[in-house]
Structures are given as C-alpha cells and as structure tokens.
Structure 1
C-alpha cells in the first residue's frame, strides 16, 4: 500500500508541479498576476491533498512498521518533512510575494521559487524511490 500511495502522489506532483504550473505561464493571454493567483489557489488545494496523503502514509507506515527497512523510514520521513516545511515555512512566504505582485508592487528577486522547485524535485525523487524500494518487501 505504501507503494500505491507513493506512486499516486508522485503522479500528482508531476502533474501539478512539473506540468500544469509551468504551462500556465506560457499562455499568452494569461497575465502574470492572474497566473500567480491561479498557482496560489492550486497549490493551496494541492497542499491540503498532500496532508491527506501524508496522513494515509503515516497510517499505513504504522501498520507495516515491522517490515520497513531503514531506507523506507528515511524516504517516508523526507517526504513528510518536505510537506511540513512547504506548508509552514515556504508557501506562506511565497503567498506574501504573490499578494504583493497581484497588488501591483515591485518585488525584489527571491530564491523562494527555486527552493520550492528543488523541494518538489526531491519529494518526487523520494516518492519514486519509496515506491520502487518498498515493492519487494512491503
């Protein structure tokens, strides 16, 4: 079941973060503030779904804990830490920037978007490895 959750979650991350999000910024008729507002709304909804997936992963992990190997625990913890970090630290800071841009303010360049993209990449890789690694023993 961990494998199933990992692969479903991976598909969602790939679809939302690596496909839908970059594509919307290529739409010529969509202004940057509108695209950012759509992105903010999307990522807030996706964040809620990720908490549901996190809870499911924790519940399943508790049920199969005796068959987990150290690498399983590491990958599960890594995914959960990323979700917590994005929710409590990163997304609120990105929200402030988006609100300022929507309000027409000039905002200085920031590394926050790159940090978010990097976290999504690491999360996707961890989910891929978790699904592949647990296939043989959980």
Structure 2
C-alpha cells in the first residue's frame, strides 16, 4: 500500500467523522430542544414543576453530550496535523465554541435559578432566557448544517465540485 493511498484513506475517515458528528449533534438538539421540550408539557399529569425538573435533567445531559461532541470535533479539526481544517471551517468551529460557551456560562445559570424558584413554589414571571437559549440552539443548528456541508464537500473529488460546461 502506498503512502499516498494510506493518507487518502485517513483523510476520508476523518472527513466522515467531521460529517457524522455535526449531523449527530444537530439531531440531538432538534430532538431535545424542539421536540421533547415543548411536548413534555402536553403529557397528561405533567405539572410545571415536574416538567421543569425533567427539563433540567434532560438539558444538562444534552449539554454534556454537546460538550463531548464539540471536544471530538475539536480533536478531529486540529490534532491530525496532515488533515487540519482551515478557512470557513475554522470560522464555523469558532462559532460553535462561542455559542456553546454562551449557553453554558451565561444562559443556563439564570434558567437554573428560575427553575429553582419555580420548584420552591415561587412564580418568577416571564423570562427572556428561554428565548435566548432557543436562539442559541437555532444558531448552533445552522452552524452544524454548514459544518456538515463543508465536510461532505471535502469528501467529494475535486472534479465533482466544478460544474461541467455542457
């Protein structure tokens, strides 16, 4: 086996993971944030405190899974020296890191504090933090689509990326 062939197989393997991880992450966010979260409050017998308690657990698990996926993407993006990303892919990665950091450091704490108040029987009123979290998830999903498209394009031979002159 030639070195060039081995390098190409390694590149393809890494690009496949760079495609799979954003698609997996997209699915997690879509399923939890946009399907499970709103639907759980429509289930019979679910009270606001019970739904918030479940939501806290589910979103904590989602955030851990997102962090691990981001870590894996980071390793795949920068560690294999021969297959490092550049250009738009670096910008997408920075965007994912920034949005994740904002969610964890600035959005989750006030949401958790509000959940604590509701669980203690208080009525803290309306809060914009749920909408900020939803916006962060929307931005994350958009960035993940871009990351997946860029990874998919990197898997195509260069001749397929150039339109033919028909």
- TM band (smaller chain): over 0.9
1:105 is aligned to 122
In the aligned structure 2, how far is the partner of 1:26 from the partner of 1:130? 34
1:56-135 to 2 correspondence within 5 Å?
56-62=72-78, 63=80, 68-135=85-152
Which sections of structure 2, spanning at least 5 residues, go unmatched?
Answer: 1-16, 156-166
2:60 is aligned to 44
Work out whether residues 90 and 112 of structure 1, in 8 Å CA contact, stay in contact via their aligned partners in 2: yes
In the aligned structure 2, how far is the partner of 1:51 from the partner of 1:123? 12
Q: TM-score, normalised by structure 1?
A: 0.93
Q: Deviations over 1:5-34 (max 9, x none)?
A: 111111111111111111101113100111
> After TM superposition, what 4+ stretches of structure 1 lie above 3 angstroms from structure 2?
64-67
How much has 1:94 moved relative to structure 2?
A: 0.3
Q: 1:22 aligns with which of 34, 38, 49?
A: 38
**CA root-mean-square deviation:** 1.6
In the aligned structure 1, how far is the partner of 2:77 from the partner of 2:43? 41
Higher normalized contact order (CA 8 Å, seq sep 6+, divided by chain length): 1
